[in-house]
Structure formats: structure tokens, C-alpha cells
A and B are shown apart, each in its own frame.
Chain A
Amino acid sequence: MTEETDLLERALQQDERAFATLCERHRARLWRIVSSVSRSSDREDLVQESVIRAYGALKSYRREASFASWLSRIAINVVHDYQKSAWRRRVISFPEDWEPAGSLENVIESRYELIELQRRVRREVAKLASAQRIPIWLHYFEGFTFAEIARLELTAESTIRSRIHAGRKILAKKLSDFDLESTACDDAEALKPRSKECEA
């Protein structure tokens, strides 16, 4: 029995310390998810909300999928709720409607603008419906395979693929202000060191 499995067993028996240890192992993932949509101190609240929700829903955890994907899914849902909440709209502290000035070449002129672009895309993904939001986020941003997402969602891989395709269509509409046609992959290479497309 591995250490993570042991911790999971104890956490499932309502051992708070074991659960906290498990969550600490995925703290970087949680922080990255919540930082996609917020830069303020709301992030800490979002992490705490995710942890509390996960602890409350621990009985519903099925061992088919990994704990990391399950916890990420809860955090993505928390982020989604935050995106929709009126409270967030009141305390927003950075320009929400950031739009690129022109093509992606112009956009990615600095590291700052690349981060803004990434935030914008992630926020749009977070606004999607659950059926598309979870597979797209877990696959593209957290690196989970289709098979793993299918186990988490208790559905077939083909369903996950079709959901991702549908989500991409919706995103294309929302991100239509980006002019990506003229963007060559090499243009962004300097700012995007580990792009999957370019690696391929």
C-alpha cells in the first residue's frame, strides 16, 4: 500500500490530518486553478472553499479516478461559481474585459501580456458548462488523459472527446477577437517554452 493510498484510506474515515496532508500534496495544483481567475486575496478563500467542499464530499469520492483529478474537479467548480458570483464582480480589482490589441504576435509582446492571455482563456473555460468545463480544463491545463477524465466522469472516452470538441466550438466564439490565423507557432516560442504543439 503506497503512502497516498494509506492517507486516502484514513481520510475516508474522516481523519482530518490525513486529508489535510493529501491536500497539501496538491497545493500547487489548487493554487494554479484559483489563480487563473483571481489575483486578489480571494484566491485564499477559494482554496479554502475547495478544501472544505472536498472534505464534505469525501464520502462521494469513488476510487476509479485519482484523488488529484477529483480534487481538481472540485476546485474547477468552485472557480466556476466564483466567476458567476455577484460578490466577485463587486470586488474585482483588475480589468476584466481585457482584449488583445491585434494579432497574437502583437499580443505576446511581453510576459505580462502572455499571462493576461492565459488568464483570459482560462476564465472563458471556467465559464463553460460543467460538461465541457471539466474535460477541457483537466485535459489541457492539468494534463489528465481522456481515459482518466472518463473514469472521473463515469462516462466513455468518446463522450469526453465529443464534449471537448463542443467546448472548443463555444470557446472559438468567445475568443473570436483573437486573430490566430496569421500566428505562426514559432512567433510565440520565445515566450512559450513548453508548447505542446511546437514540441510535437
Chain B
Amino acid sequence: MTEFEKSDKLNRMVANDSVEKLLDLSSEFEPSDVMPLGLISEALASRKRKNKPILTLVFVGVAGVALCAIRLAYFREAPTISFPAKNIESVNNHREVSVISERDVDRQYSMLDSLSFNNIAVKPNSDSDAVKTSFTSSHGHSSKRRPSVYVSGHSSNSKFGDAKIPVKTYAAMWKTETIEQNYSGIIATALVATQDEQDRIDGTFTLTPALIDLPLNPGDTITTTEETSALFVSTLNYKEENP
């Protein structure tokens, strides 16, 4: 049947009220069976049952929030939930390894703050002496004590919540830097005597206070006299190096 024929047929159907005939014919429809008894009462009863879990959930939520508020108000203590997986320190004796294995950056920072690095015994590998660790500062909370942390983000699927939304986790790693300290000399305050051309004629010296670095050789000795409390260093070569 062509499009024109279809359209023509539709027009004739509407004009002849064929649809109305069909509608009238369909108005006589009666189902072969009757509606079961008690269906309406059951529906109204099930409506209550459907609401019950929601009400329970709402009640539990409100009660939880109220408990948290009470605890905060009276004990000034934020309620915490501890998961067994977080309790790594008790499981793993190697604290450094525990820190590295944690994949939560915030958690790492909190752990780093809680750890005293002076107490960490970083045992160098007996096979290699390459690793040397020393944290010279032993007092106060200094940023120098915190190892440099490199954070690189990559997404991974979370096991909880909406699986469609990838939750960003972070793999953190840091390196332990070697700090070496060498005593190369003594820095001391001194009066430096200088003499210009005019002074040389007059025979006078100009004294100016300054910090001088006195390099020490392996054989040099440091002695102090009680009277002057001055520092005398047997550095005969000082004048030679700084004429």
C-alpha cells in the first residue's frame, strides 16, 4: 500500500467514524474473571509495610546524629569509627613499611606527625652502606623532620559506594635524604686589622669586627686561655691565605 493510499484510508476512517465504531465496540469489554477479594485492603496494608523500613532508617539516622551531638557537647570528643584495616601498626612491626603501604595521603601525614623519627632505627643494610639517615634536629616540630613526600594520583575503582564514579586514591612515596655534617673549621668573631696607604705612613691600624672562618687541618689544636676566654688557633697559615 502506497503512502497516498494509506493517507486516503485514514481520512476515510476518520470521516466515516470507523474509529468511533471500534471504540464503541470496545466499550463492551468485560473481564472474564472477577477481582479477588481483599485486594484493596491488602494494598493499603502493604503501603504501611513499605513505609516502615524508611521510617526505621530515618529514626536510626536521627538517633545517630543526636548521639554524635551529645558526645561532642559533653565530652568535646569527636566520635570516631575505627576499622581493623587501619590498625596497621599493631600488625606490622616495620613502621616504615607500614607508612609506605598506606595509600591515604592524609593518613600518612597524620602518621608521620605521630611518629618520632628520632626513635626510628633505620638500620642500614649490612651489604650496602649507601643508606645513611640522620635527623639532626631533636627538638620541636619542624618541617625539616618531615621527609619529602611525592604524591602521584591515579584512579582506581572503589569497592564501596557508586562503582561508576572512580575514587581517586594516591600512591605516596618518599625518599630519605642523607645529611652529612663536616666540621671544616671554626667560625669566630674577631677584630680584623686593616691598614691603608695613609695608615702605613702614620703607622696606625683600623680595626673592624668581622666573622672569620678558620679552617682546621687534621693536626690543629684548639686552646683557650682562662684570662681572656679568647680562642687561639694555631693557624699560622691564616695570614698566608688571607694577607
A interface residues with partner B (beta carbon < 8 Å): 16, 19-20, 23-24, 27-28, 30-32, 35-36, 43-44, 47-49, 51-52, 55, 114-115, 117-119, 121-122, 125, 136, 140-141, 143, 168-169, 171-173, 175-176, 178, 180-181, 183, 185, 188, 192-197
When distances are taken between beta carbons in the complex, the residues of chain A under 8 Å from B12 are: 181
Please tell me if B26 contacts chain A, counting CB pairs below 8 Å.
yes
Question: Is the CB–CB distance between A55 and B44 below 8 Å?
Answer: yes
A171, chain B: closest CB distance, angstroms:
5
Question: Is the CB–CB distance between A175 and B22 below 8 Å?
Answer: yes
Question: Is the CB–CB distance between B29 and A176 below 8 Å?
Answer: no
Question: Is the CB–CB distance between B25 and A195 below 8 Å?
Answer: yes
Contacts known (A20-B44, A47-B40, A180-B18); A117 close to B28, Cβ less than 8 A: no
Question: Is the CB–CB distance between A20 and B23 below 8 Å?
Answer: no
Q: Which of A19, A180, A194, A197 has the most CB of B within 10 A?
A: A180
Please tell me if B43 contacts chain A, counting CB pairs below 8 Å.
yes
Please tell me if B27 contacts chain A, counting CB pairs below 8 Å.
yes
Which single residue of chain B is at the shortest CB-CB distance from A168?
B19
Q: With the chains together, A86 CA to B47 CA distance in Å? A: 23
When distances are taken between beta carbons in the complex, the residues of chain B under 8 Å from A194 are: 28
Please tell me if B192 contacts chain A, counting CB pairs below 8 Å.
no
Question: Is the CB–CB distance between B31 and A122 below 8 Å?
Answer: no
When distances are taken between beta carbons in the complex, the residues of chain B under 8 Å from A51 are: 39-40, 43-44
B231, chain A: closest CB distance, angstroms:
93
Q: Compute the total of residue contacts between A and B using a CB distance below 8 Å.
A: 123
In the A-B complex, the 9 residue pairs with the smallest Cβ-Cβ separation, listed nearest first, are: A48-B43, A35-B31, A180-B18, A31-B35, A121-B26, A118-B29, A118-B26, A140-B23, A51-B43
In the complex, which of the residues B14, B23, B28 contacts A192, with contact meaning CB atoms closer than 8 Å? B28
When distances are taken between beta carbons in the complex, the residues of chain B under 8 Å from A122 are: 26, 29
**Could you tell me which residues of chain B, from 1 to 57, have a CB within 8 Å of some CB in chain A?**
6, 9-10, 12-14, 16, 18-32, 34-36, 39-44, 46-47
Contacts known (A27-B35, A195-B28); A121 close to B40, Cβ less than 8 A: no
A6, chain B: closest CB distance, angstroms:
19
A11, chain B: closest CB distance, angstroms:
11
When distances are taken between beta carbons in the complex, the residues of chain A under 8 Å from B31 are: 31-32, 35
In the complex, which of the residues A28, A118, A173 contacts B35, with contact meaning CB atoms closer than 8 Å? A28
B107, chain A: closest CB distance, angstroms:
44
B31, chain A: closest CB distance, angstroms:
4
B154, chain A: closest CB distance, angstroms:
37
Contacts known (A47-B43, A48-B39, A51-B43); A169 close to B25, Cβ less than 8 A: no
Q: With the chains together, A121 CA to B36 CA distance in Å? A: 25
Q: With the chains together, A125 CA to B29 CA distance in Å? A: 14
Question: Is the CB–CB distance between A180 and B16 below 8 Å?
Answer: yes
Q: With the chains together, A173 CA to B9 CA distance in Å? A: 9
When distances are taken between beta carbons in the complex, the residues of chain B under 8 Å from A193 are: 28
Question: Is the CB–CB distance between B10 and A173 below 8 Å?
Answer: yes
Which single residue of chain A is at the shortest CB-CB distance from B23?
A140
B205, chain A: closest CB distance, angstroms:
104
Question: Is the CB–CB distance between B27 and A196 below 8 Å?
Answer: yes
When distances are taken between beta carbons in the complex, the residues of chain B under 8 Å from A178 are: 18, 22
Question: Is the CB–CB distance between B29 and A197 below 8 Å?
Answer: no
Q: With the chains together, A172 CA to B12 CA distance in Å? A: 10
B211, chain A: closest CB distance, angstroms:
86
When distances are taken between beta carbons in the complex, the residues of chain A under 8 Å from B26 are: 117-118, 121-122, 125, 140-141
Question: Is the CB–CB distance between B19 and A118 below 8 Å?
Answer: no
Question: Is the CB–CB distance between A172 and B29 below 8 Å?
Answer: no
